[in-house]
Amino acid sequence: MSESLIIGFEDTAEGRDAVALGTQLAVALAATPLLANAVTLPEGVLSVQELDAALKAVAAGQLEAPLGGIKQLHPEAQAVAVSAGSAARALHDLAEQREAIATVVGSTDRGPLGRVLPGSTAERLLHGAPCAIAVAERGFAEQERRLLRVGVACDGTREADLALKAAVKIARACNSTLDLLSIAQTVDLAYVPAAVAMMPLSELQATEKRRMREKLDRALNQVPDELPAHGQLLIGAPGAALVDVSEEFDLIVVGSRGYGPLRRTLIGSTSRHLFSSAQCSVLAMPRGIDPGPFAVGD
């Protein structure tokens, strides 16, 4: 039985973006789509029987049409309406109950077309979800975007290695090209220890470039030979550098920050910058999970 991939849906353009991206990711990750509408209700307003009837009515009324489209590619796809005090809590609880490998949501309707900008639900999910989180760029469905070029941020950490595994699996399944993105940060002498600051700035920057180039080359060696892959060494602040090149991609995959509870998606400053301004959809991986569903060759 395949893992579940949750698609958070509401009947808006942004909800349809989530469906379009989630459907493609489900194919790429060999996961079963679970279309979910999150209903926000204070606890105790309805009896158990009334709540069950209301959620069934929501599922039948709002999810039947989009579910039909998803089933053309995924006959096993399902739909469900869930309730909690907030949409984020409802999706979080559903992900835990179904042991989902990912949850996909749309951007807020307040953001510009062609960019990612999480709304309140996505923001909360990005700070502790029990699975990977993807946010679709606004206009993804209308533009009929396909995951033809995938980028992945590589910095040599365990979290980045998991992101690389996921990116490889997605790129292989979608017949995409894959770009590994490594960033040599601009050296700021104000944050360099005094003993090191005696070195010329040009030498410090050259050392940083060599260090990140070596990590990039090691990551490239992990990519299967049959997959078209390229390495890009970017220069600058990591978040801004990734945003600058994001227009070249249909999806960028990133790891969680390197601290915090395991088995949770926890974005750091670099990922936060990307999620607030990227010109493509973004997928963030959780920390410390079994890479099985994302492993190369699965």
pLDDT digits (tens, 9 = 90+) for 231-273: 999 998 888 999 999 999 999 999 886 544 444 555 567 888 8
Residue located via tokens 């679709």: 136
Q: Look at residue 176 and give its three-state secondary structure.
A: coil
Domain identity same for 102 and 168: no
Last residue of a domain, one of 144, 176, 202: 144
Which residues are within 8 A (CB) of 292 and not within 5 positions of it... i.e. 6 or more apart? Answer: 298
> What was the pLDDT predicted at 298?
43
Domain identity same for 150 and 197: yes
Greatest Cα-to-Cα distance within the chain, rounded to the nearest angstrom: 72
Strand partners, 233: 182
Per DSSP, helices labelled H in the chain are 13-28, 48-62, 64-71, 87-98, 120-125, 158-173, 194-197, 201-220, 238-245, 269-277
Domain identity same for 118 and 163: no
What's the CA gap between 135 and 276, in Å, rounded? 10
Domain identity same for 290 and 152: yes
Q: Could you give the C-alpha distances from 20 to 11, 59, 67, 135, 157, in angstroms and in order?
A: 13, 19, 11, 11, 31
Which residues are within 8 A (CB) of 133 and not within 5 positions of it... i.e. 6 or more apart? Answer: 102, 103, 104, 105, 122, 125, 126, 265, 283, 284
Q: Which two tokens stand for residue 73?
A: 């590619």
Last residue of a domain, one of 96, 123, 144: 144
Domain identity same for 129 and 194: no
The pTM of the full predicted model, rounded to 2 decimals, is: 0.88
Domain identity same for 178 and 236: yes
The residue ranges of the chain whose pLDDT is under 70 are 1, 44, 187-201, 257-268, 288-291, 296-298
The whole domain housing 72 covers 1-144
Which residue type sits at 134? A
Picking from 160, 80, 96, the residue whose alpha carbon sits closest to that of residue 131 is 96
> What was the pLDDT predicted at 262?
44
Domain identity same for 78 and 100: yes
Tallying the residues shown for the chain, one arrives at 298
DSSP 8-class letter at 110: T
Domain identity same for 150 and 134: no
Domain identity same for 119 and 217: no
Domain total in the chain: 2
Domain identity same for 256 and 285: yes
Do the Cβ atoms of 227 and 168 come closer than 8 Å?
A: yes
Last residue of a domain, one of 124, 144, 164: 144
Question: What CATH number is attached to the domain comprising 44?
Answer: 3.40.50.620
- Output phi, psi for 20, to 5 deg: -65, -45
> What was the pLDDT predicted at 55?
81
Domain identity same for 215 and 102: no
Which residues are within 8 A (CB) of 159 and not within 5 positions of it... i.e. 6 or more apart? Answer: 255, 256, 257, 258, 285, 287
Domain identity same for 71 and 193: no
